[in-house]
Chains A and B, each alone.
Chain A
């Protein structure tokens, strides 16, 4: 009897003790700590758009680099071991993966488009759609058929199917139409101009960018059979819309109000190929080199003013007097490197990328997505090929304006006057009247207008027109050149069936639809 009470008594003590301890754990609130304290659980479209625009630059810089090589603008110095991927075209589906970054970037634009209404920030939709069209067009130009209608749907479509590239191009024109309607429908609020690091809330500029992008998409198709009526109709629609194209300025991201002198927060071109935030020369400044053929073309038309903006003389920029070269700025000191040569042209003995892109200390220049000169020269080609379009100017006037815009964009002193001198200089492919093949003149001048700014577009134009006749890489025997990139192994490994459905990709024979020869 005694014994039992003894145990009973202790039992109740243990019981309480156990309950007391267990009591802490039993409450759900004790484990309700699973909310990430390091990262936000939601985001408003304004903040997402700012990052998306900035991320577009850090993605497109890579595509532009490869484009600059394959368009014949740039090559590499022999201070670095020659990259066989780029200069022997010895690349695989593991190289040049611009795909993943761009689709990641697209997701942010899509987020803005999808959430703008709900957040009462409708004015973000138009610009986000224009940027979406800009990136999708770059993807088609590199990869052909790609996921478009089924893309960016998250878990709702884990294996996005691919769309036909021609249909995507048509849909991008429609997307830009929608974007223009969106921009016109809702006035930009002040919240927008803070987030918009491209045009700072200028609606007209956005519409002009949309129209310019349409011109780019349409001119790409200019040689595709049976597209004449379509292109004419679409160009005429732009003329009717009336806002025009970007003129006397470039489409640029960031600028001095955005970039700051902090590691990783300067203009990404400047950061990669020129100087760090504190003005120390980047090791990679010794890598890219203007190609000898580019110099030959410029010298051939006495176009030395643009040459001296495109490149620094050998030895690069003089740090003490930014914007000038270390060596005397005489043409003999502008040493271009033959494309793809593997020896004999070390960095200090050859020309650096010039002051049109890099001046020490000017880390806050906008990152250029599109130049006005490109669009004027595209309009020249359209007018030349399809005289029926209602564009008000002549092919010659667009051509000449394109060249003047190029002088301006490169920062040539007295740009208009000096451009006019070139245009009247009597040299073929510079002076309109002296050029027997007008399309060749347009292509050559566009090729020059794209130097340093739009490498991917230059490669696209080269593939589309086969102009100018840039030399083959020194290390390559035969005439083969890459026409496109491989679908990256990341996509092939995770969206296998849909990638397989595109057939065997041979980068030396499989062409993008606008590349007809």
Chain B
């Protein structure tokens, strides 16, 4: 013993070599794991998990690898150490990239966050990151507001805080503040992981930009080890999952019969329906289909007639769409040695859409590398993405539903060669051939995104490191919108006629719509955006006794500039040449430039007492150009804010709590107050823009701006509180994470509507107050954990609500957007946005009966708009199942959202055209559940009074105009994504000697969607805007689709 002690003294400075192997808990090798010693050596394990490293006795080996918990092993006397890593069952020591790139251990974090791995992102092989995140994080709502080859999303964390300002989460890419554009263009396979920082505390360090939480994306930097080449191919089909419900009983017609009260009114509704039929109508209020041959449209110049059976064609509208296709090819290279790593990927993603001819093509390249030079760590990432889109700018969907069910739309695609499809011969007097309009109205644009980061980390001493990261981003769009020239023939304009026996006395000659020639148009648009962001940090890490401390002091500079230019011509002289020079008349256009700058100082201190009580304080001081004027006091444009978070690990503080049931318990609580420079750029100025249309040649015209800025405008503040807890039970096989939070946003910079009689329409002023609160729970259960069979279930629930506490004195509500008859609003003391629509007049006796006119029997419309409910879902549930058996794995994600209402303008439109299934009751009938008031004002239930012209007027003039009819609950259940994969066994692969790994999978997205039974219209997620006023959809979103496909992964 004595000798041993002595020899210890001698060998302390001596190094020796040990060898070993890194394995997973089952003993399979873990290639590429990083092995570090306390004395400063770092090596990587090879392909078989083997490693060799210099150690000193008493050294501690720290072994890390992606997807495994870090293991620490004390080096004894043995020369061989096998390190078995535990899977990520326990994420207690997981390192999380938090705000400003500060890495923290999970247990030290005093607020709610979520980390999504590459594998979770890619379940459904979505080429779009935002969509891939849907339903996978509690508190996160991804609104897929539009469905096209360039889908639009709105990403919101924990609901709305701002009444009128931005509510969307910040996107941080490798530490750099970027924009939500990144979510649609980044190759999801390049992502190492995504950390979602949900609350205010998480994002205090990002300044104003992080007020709505942050999505922190970390890309792959390459795994150490020998060169690894991966190839992946995915291809999937995109198919309409549902269309609005159509009627298939009645053909084209409108109100041609003499109306009630007019001379010649026919009492037999069947006679009126016959009178209403016309071969050129867009509306579908003709007589019932009977299978006989009838003309559509008029006689063409060459005398030909398009005579077709008057009978519905099954699925004529859905056949008008194509089956879309996505093809994604990508290859990546990675590798490295003990001190360096690199990663490079190339991707091509091609989409052809469900709207014929619509397509997109994305090419991206990303390179990243890290290198250690002793105390200096250098890294960079650079990516370039170019995405081109070619779409119709026309409302194809709207035109489709304006065609009757017996029109063989799919046969009318070739308008260039088919005379009945050509605008000179197309049957419809009001709506042109949708295929012509689609082809003739195009928007083509290319988005290019160049982004790069360069970071340096210099370890000055054991407890101090110096860190600097410079990020740049350039986004550009070049866009050309074109409308082709088309001049109608004189025959079409004036002479095309309806032949006997289909003509009526008051018919006219010439196709009504042909009167308007299309002279073509070209508009050319470019936009560039440049962002520079530099972060300089001093990172201190020092323990004092039982206290371990980490302090980051930072300095941030941010600059963003944009430039937009547009030139338009409203004519095309030579058809097919789309250059603004090929025009008659003036060029129009404009220019817009912006520049904003900010700088800030921040500090982040984390002190941990015995690893079970951790306090984290943050402070930031910002100076922003948005509020700067040389005449304003410093306090008007610079502002401090701060936050504090506390974590308490009960199971470590009181080890007796730990047992077979409970193995980890943590409580967390935080408070913070964040400043936000939420003001429109240049919002401090009253300006004098050009009057509408000016200049007119040499005539100049200016107007006084409509928004008067308050002289005392200053940044607004958001105060947040959050409490939460984490529990891990049964050896971490069950884990539960819960949070509750509330956020109050005071002094919101609102554009307040003031009376126009003041001369201004709006005042920009700090007035609004809004409150936002909610609860979240994440439960994860490893039901089966056998060597071959594994099954894990996860359920995430979040509840969020908000309230507009205060608006401007005297103002109780204002509108966010929408139609005059259905719009979204902010109303004092209510949640926001609130959908308001006009509706039925109900009997005052509380019976719920709808009042009808006592003479005509038509429902009465209550013209004042009534609140119908909030448009943001209150409840979001995500559910995940992961099942694996040997080399097979099945992952499924579901999402439910509910507790909101939506308005579908589609319904109103389809009532107008008579395409909607709900308009099918055309026989004279008593309006359901109705009553009328007798002479004395008494409510009389209506059992006998039929709506006068149930075959037309009831629907078009009455039912259509009651927007309550098209307001439905917004809940849905979607199977977000599903993936069945098979890993080709290593035994097979090694025989082939080409690959080191191979897997195939079948996947799907949105395979089914369940919506409320009263929602006949469309996907409740869709919205006409990506602004705050979501909850209203129309025909500008293409129909909802499902995707299913096949994926192949190979590694070499």
Residues of A within 8 A of B (CB): 7, 10, 14, 18, 21-22, 24-25, 28, 30-43, 47-48, 50-52, 54-55, 58, 78-79, 81-82, 84, 90, 92, 94-95, 99-100, 103-104, 106-108, 110-111, 146-147, 150-155, 157-160, 194, 197, 258-265, 276-278, 280-283, 285-286, 314-316, 326, 341-349, 474-475, 477, 490-491, 493-497
Chain A residues whose C-beta falls within 8 Å of the C-beta of B601 in the assembled complex: 22
**What would 4 more interface pairs be, CB under 8 Å, given A25-B557, A342-B953, A348-B515?**
A48-B688, A315-B508, A347-B512, A494-B811
Asked if B864 CB lies within 8 Å of chain A CBs, one says: yes
Decide yes or no: A81 and B957 within 8 Å by CB, A34-B628, A94-B820 being known contacts. Answer: yes
Q: Which residue of A is nearest B686, CB measured? A: A41
A54 to B509 CA separation, bound complex (whole angstroms): 39
Could you say which of B586, B594, B756 contacts A491, with CB atoms under 8 Å apart? B756
Q: Which residue of A is nearest B507, CB measured? A: A349
Q: Are B262 and A197 in contact (CB under 8 A)?
A: no
Asked if B114 CB lies within 8 Å of chain A CBs, one says: no
Decide yes or no: A30 and B759 within 8 Å by CB, A43-B688, A262-B585, A493-B814 being known contacts. Answer: no
Decide yes or no: A497 and B628 within 8 Å by CB, A22-B555, A47-B702, A344-B506 being known contacts. Answer: no
Which listed segment binds A: B138-146, B343-351, B693-701? B693-701
Could you say which of B510, B593, B757 contacts A160, with CB atoms under 8 Å apart? B757
A277 to B520 CA separation, bound complex (whole angstroms): 12
Asked if B630 CB lies within 8 Å of chain A CBs, one says: yes
Asked if B41 CB lies within 8 Å of chain A CBs, one says: no
Chain B residues whose C-beta falls within 8 Å of the C-beta of A262 in the assembled complex: 570, 585-586, 588, 696
Q: Are B624 and A31 in contact (CB under 8 A)?
A: yes
Q: Are B262 and A281 in contact (CB under 8 A)?
A: no
Asked if B841 CB lies within 8 Å of chain A CBs, one says: no
Chain B residues whose C-beta falls within 8 Å of the C-beta of A94 in the assembled complex: 820, 863, 865
Chain A residues whose C-beta falls within 8 Å of the C-beta of B865 in the assembled complex: 94
Decide yes or no: A37 and B688 within 8 Å by CB, A31-B623, A278-B570 being known contacts. Answer: no
Chain B residues whose C-beta falls within 8 Å of the C-beta of A22 in the assembled complex: 555, 601
Chain A residues whose C-beta falls within 8 Å of the C-beta of B612 in the assembled complex: none
Q: Are A159 and B810 in contact (CB under 8 A)?
A: yes
Q: Which residue of B is nearest A7, CB measured? A: B461
What's the nearest-Cβ distance from chain B to residue A328, in Å?
Answer: 14
Q: Are A104 and B693 in contact (CB under 8 A)?
A: no
Q: Which residue of B is nearest A150, CB measured? A: B757
A79 to B513 CA separation, bound complex (whole angstroms): 11
Chain B residues whose C-beta falls within 8 Å of the C-beta of A108 in the assembled complex: 703-704
Q: Are A103 and B756 in contact (CB under 8 A)?
A: yes
Q: Are A349 and B506 in contact (CB under 8 A)?
A: yes
Q: Are B599 and A40 in contact (CB under 8 A)?
A: no
Decide yes or no: A21 and B516 within 8 Å by CB, A14-B466, A197-B699 being known contacts. Answer: no
Residue from the set A33, A99, A283, A491 with the largest chain B CB neighbour count within 10 Å: A33
Decide yes or no: A38 and B593 within 8 Å by CB, A31-B637, A84-B957, A159-B810 being known contacts. Answer: yes
Asked if B519 CB lies within 8 Å of chain A CBs, one says: yes
Q: Are B687 and A41 in contact (CB under 8 A)?
A: yes
Decide yes or no: A34 and B688 within 8 Å by CB, A151-B759, A262-B585 being known contacts. Answer: no
Q: Are B625 and A111 in contact (CB under 8 A)?
A: no
Could you say which of A24, A153, A264 contacts B758, with CB atoms under 8 Å apart? A153
What's the nearest-Cβ distance from chain B to residue A104, in Å?
Answer: 6
Could you say which of A31, A286, A344, A348 contacts B597, with CB atoms under 8 Å apart? A31
Chain A residues whose C-beta falls within 8 Å of the C-beta of B696 in the assembled complex: 54, 258-260, 262, 265
Q: Which residue of A is nearest B634, CB measured? A: A28
Q: Are B710 and A155 in contact (CB under 8 A)?
A: yes
Q: Are A155 and B763 in contact (CB under 8 A)?
A: yes
What's the nearest-Cβ distance from chain A to residue B743, in Å?
Answer: 27
What's the nearest-Cβ distance from chain A to residue B625, in Å?
Answer: 4
Q: Which residue of B is nearest A491, CB measured? A: B755
Nearest 7 A/B pairs, CB to CB: A51-B701, A51-B691, A25-B599, A107-B759, A348-B508, A495-B755, A43-B688
Q: Are A264 and B517 in contact (CB under 8 A)?
A: no
Chain B residues whose C-beta falls within 8 Å of the C-beta of A475 in the assembled complex: 259
Q: Which residue of A is nearest B623, CB measured? A: A31
Chain A residues whose C-beta falls within 8 Å of the C-beta of B756 in the assembled complex: 99-100, 103-104, 490-491
Chain A residues whose C-beta falls within 8 Å of the C-beta of B626 in the assembled complex: 34
Residue from the set B466, B693, B702 with the largest chain A CB neighbour count within 10 Å: B702
Q: Are B517 and A343 in contact (CB under 8 A)?
A: no
A355 to B347 CA separation, bound complex (whole angstroms): 62
Q: Are A21 and B536 in contact (CB under 8 A)?
A: yes
Chain B residues whose C-beta falls within 8 Å of the C-beta of A111 in the assembled complex: 704
Q: Which residue of B is nearest A286, CB measured? A: B512
Chain B residues whose C-beta falls within 8 Å of the C-beta of A90 in the assembled complex: 861, 863
Q: Are B704 and A48 in contact (CB under 8 A)?
A: yes
What's the nearest-Cβ distance from chain B to residue A107, in Å?
Answer: 3
Asked if B331 CB lies within 8 Å of chain A CBs, one says: no
Q: Are B759 and A152 in contact (CB under 8 A)?
A: yes
Q: Which residue of B is nearest A21, CB measured? A: B536
A10 to B536 CA separation, bound complex (whole angstroms): 16
Asked if B518 CB lies within 8 Å of chain A CBs, one says: yes
Decide yes or no: A151 and B536 within 8 Å by CB, A280-B516, A346-B506 being known contacts. Answer: no
A14 to B555 CA separation, bound complex (whole angstroms): 13
A110 to B682 CA separation, bound complex (whole angstroms): 25
Q: Are B262 and A341 in contact (CB under 8 A)?
A: yes
Q: Are A48 and B702 in contact (CB under 8 A)?
A: yes
Q: Are A47 and B700 in contact (CB under 8 A)?
A: yes
Chain B residues whose C-beta falls within 8 Å of the C-beta of A38 in the assembled complex: 591-594, 682, 689
Q: Are A157 and B758 in contact (CB under 8 A)?
A: yes
Chain A residues whose C-beta falls within 8 Å of the C-beta of B926 in the assembled complex: none
What's the nearest-Cβ distance from chain B to residue A21, in Å?
Answer: 5
Chain A residues whose C-beta falls within 8 Å of the C-beta of B689 in the assembled complex: 38-40
What's the nearest-Cβ distance from chain B to residue A29, in Å?
Answer: 9
What's the nearest-Cβ distance from chain B to residue A475, in Å?
Answer: 8
Q: Are B258 and A344 in contact (CB under 8 A)?
A: yes
Q: Are B759 and A104 in contact (CB under 8 A)?
A: yes
Could you say which of A10, A147, A341, A474 contacts B757, with CB atoms under 8 Å apart? A147
What's the nearest-Cβ distance from chain A to residue B400, in Å?
Answer: 20
Asked if B393 CB lies within 8 Å of chain A CBs, one says: no
Residue interface bits B753-771, CB-to-A below 8 A is 1, else 0: 1111111110100000000
Residue interface bits B594-627, CB-to-A below 8 A is 1, else 0: 1111110100000000000000000000011111
Chain B residues whose C-beta falls within 8 Å of the C-beta of A103 in the assembled complex: 756-757, 759
Q: Are B687 and A36 in contact (CB under 8 A)?
A: yes
Chain B residues whose C-beta falls within 8 Å of the C-beta of A342 in the assembled complex: 255, 259, 953, 957
Chain B residues whose C-beta falls within 8 Å of the C-beta of A50 in the assembled complex: 691, 694, 699-701
| 14 A–B contacts from the bound complex (CB under 8 Å) | A14-B460, A21-B534, A31-B598, A32-B628, A51-B702, A52-B703, A55-B703, A151-B758, A158-B758, A158-B763, A263-B570, A265-B696, A348-B508, A493-B813
Chain A residues whose C-beta falls within 8 Å of the C-beta of B761 in the assembled complex: 100, 104, 490
Asked if B684 CB lies within 8 Å of chain A CBs, one says: yes
A18 to B466 CA separation, bound complex (whole angstroms): 10
Could you say which of A47, A260, A286, A474 contacts B515, with CB atoms under 8 Å apart? A286
A107 to B710 CA separation, bound complex (whole angstroms): 18
Residue interface bits B551-576, CB-to-A below 8 A is 1, else 0: 00001010000000000001100000
Chain B residues whose C-beta falls within 8 Å of the C-beta of A277 in the assembled complex: 570, 585
Chain B residues whose C-beta falls within 8 Å of the C-beta of A283 in the assembled complex: 513, 516
Chain A residues whose C-beta falls within 8 Å of the C-beta of B536 in the assembled complex: 18, 21
A345 to B256 CA separation, bound complex (whole angstroms): 9
A378 to B751 CA separation, bound complex (whole angstroms): 46
Interface residues of B in 758-814 (CB under 8 A from A): 758-761, 763, 810-814
What's the nearest-Cβ distance from chain B to residue A48, in Å?
Answer: 5
Residue interface bits B456-478, CB-to-A below 8 A is 1, else 0: 00001100001000000000000
Chain A residues whose C-beta falls within 8 Å of the C-beta of B630 in the assembled complex: 28, 32
Chain A residues whose C-beta falls within 8 Å of the C-beta of B706 in the assembled complex: 104
Q: Are B259 and A474 in contact (CB under 8 A)?
A: yes
Decide yes or no: A81 and B956 within 8 Å by CB, A151-B758, A158-B763, A342-B259 being known contacts. Answer: yes
A170 to B851 CA separation, bound complex (whole angstroms): 47
Chain A residues whose C-beta falls within 8 Å of the C-beta of B430 in the assembled complex: 79
